[in-house]
Chain A
Amino acid sequence: MATPDFSEPEELTARERRALESLIKRLADDEFVLAERYTEWQVRAPTLESDLALANNAQDELGHARLWYDVLGDLGYTERELVYERDPAEFRHSTLVELPFEDGDWADAVLRSYLYDVAEELRLEALEDSSSPTIANRVAKIQQEEGYHREHAQNWVERLAEGESNGGEGHKRLQAALDRLFPHALTLFESCAPPRGANDANDASGDKPRAAGSDVEADIVDLGLRTATLEELGEEWLAIVVPYLESLGLDVPESGQTGDGEFEFEVTQEMLPDERGRDGTHTDAWADLYDDFTHTYRELGRSEPTKIMEIPE
């Protein structure tokens, strides 16, 4: 097979296009939705520094979402179509990023950030040599900004895990957040359902939730768009987060660790939540969040998200 040339977006085959689109939605939707959740902490985080830090991380993630959505601009999509007018069932983010925070549950925010940022670091590495030059050329900029996120998350996770105030309240909250979030974090490595209407001979259409999406995931790797499989990324992720969390005295839910300390990414149905995001199924919280962030756009009858107002007649 000839190496696909992703530098000529107009000349992509349907299969190449579908793979590119699915990969970008995985990346961009995660970043965009996580940013939406992070911003809920603005003026509510426990200290001024942490407030500014998380708000800034949210802004970073919005910037990265835009960098990724821009790649789809080459395929003719606009930001309006991709964000404000997209059917909520067509979003492909992991459910980890859409879950609401319980009021004031800072442990959830920092643990979620940690689980996500480790995964993001790994997948960015696997995009450095992407066969799409547009993707590869964006990686360094994003990596330049992402390093701080993990550092910030780890600082806080460690502070909460080690703190002894209120009878180890921080540790308890972290454990509760870990029990709740871990199954959703595993969905970061789940297969994506392809976009609706992208049906082909392989039946892998996203017209139904949970359509067999493994074809499109195999394509992403076969076409060189990403140089590691989801299983490989998941295993690397487990090998980092499990020992780290255990070193803080946290109990990690079932994680695929084998007896000799190696990790196998063998996720069973029981380990996963009912809704997995990537396959087009979402928690109820997603519908609410989607309504929230599209509210003003709809209310004002906008057609251009970045224009503040129409030019008066």
Chain B
Amino acid sequence: MSSNSPEPTETDATPCAYTEYQSADGDVAAELPATGANATGLESEVWDALYEIEDPEMPISIVDLGLIYGVSVAAGVATVDMTLTYSGCPAREMLTEEVEETAAAVEGVDDADLRLVWNPPWTVDLVTEQGKEDLREFGLSI
């Protein structure tokens, strides 16, 4: 970094950013709904891949439904924070497996780690505008 660069805003970078292992249900709720709009590189590609996954009952992407709270990729491992609309969701295994497999299948990602989080709880407010449109088209009033 040159000496006339602006005030340093970050601490020293480490070669592997994947050293901080938050417990599941950690503080992930910064900005929801999360859509990966500002993501770059591999993370952006993981978001794109997750966008292709539909809710099992309605024609809406799980990203637009607001289920994905965050994606990060470090050292080849994609970490996806995800919630479910309902604690008793019968599609839990199916969805979480699909998300994990999809994230891991992105080129450049070796492995994926899914953390099921429940805070903040999902509500319809987390559905994106695009998602609301999809649901209206499907016949739901939202």
Task: Give residues in A with beta carbon < 8 Å to B.
Answer: 7-9, 59-64, 66-67, 70, 74, 133-134, 136-138, 140-142, 144-145, 306
Contacts and interface: CB of A to CB of B under 8 A. Distances in A.
Q: Which secondary structure dominates chain A's binding surface?
A: helix
Given A137-B117, A140-B119, A66 B87 contact: yes
A67 B93 CA distance: 13
Given A133-B23, A134-B24, A134-B25, A141 B88 contact: no
Given A141-B121, A306-B93, A63 B86 contact: yes
B119 A141 contact: yes
Contact of B88 (A62, A70, A138): A62
Contact of A134 (B23, B93, B121): B23
Nearest to B123: A144
B88 A63 contact: yes
B1 interface: no
Contacts of A134: 23-25
Max count, chain A CB within 10 A of own CB: residue among B23, B89, B122:
B23
B56 interface: no
Contacts of A61: 88
A145 B122 CA distance: 11
Given A140-B119, A141-B121, A7 B23 contact: yes
B118 A138 contact: yes
Given A64-B87, A66-B88, A140-B119, 5 more contacts: A136-B119, A137-B25, A141-B119, A145-B86, A145-B87
A141 B118 contact: yes
Interface of B: 23-26, 86-90, 93, 116-123
A137 B124 CA distance: 19
Contacts of B89: 63
Contacts of B121: 140-141, 144
Max count, chain B CB within 10 A of own CB: residue among A8, A137, A144, A306:
A137
Contacts of B90: 59
Contact of A67 (B87, B120, B122, B123): B87
Given A133-B23, A134-B25, A63 B117 contact: no
8 contacts: A8-B23, A9-B23, A61-B88, A64-B87, A133-B26, A137-B25, A137-B117, A144-B123
Contacts of B116: 70
Nearest to A56: B88
Contacts of A70: 116
A64 B90 CA distance: 13
A63 B118 CA distance: 12
Contacts of A144: 121, 123
Contacts of A306: 93
A307 to B, nearest CB: 9
A91 B86 CA distance: 26
Nearest to B89: A63
Given A63-B88, A145-B87, A137 B93 contact: no
B23 A59 contact: no
A129 B90 CA distance: 29
Nearest to A138: B118
A61 B24 CA distance: 22
B87 A133 contact: no
A60 B118 contact: no
Given A67-B118, A137-B119, A142 B23 contact: no
Contacts of A140: 118-121
The 8 A-B residue pairs with the shortest CB-CB distance in the complex, in nearest-first order: A63-B88, A63-B87, A137-B25, A137-B119, A141-B121, A141-B118, A59-B88, A7-B23
Nearest to A60: B88
A274 B93 CA distance: 40
A142 B25 contact: no
Nearest to B88: A63
A63 B90 CA distance: 9
Contacts of A133: 23, 25-26
A137 B118 contact: yes
Given A133-B23, A134-B24, A134-B25, A142 B87 contact: yes
A82 B67 CA distance: 28
A21 B88 CA distance: 22
A64 B23 CA distance: 20
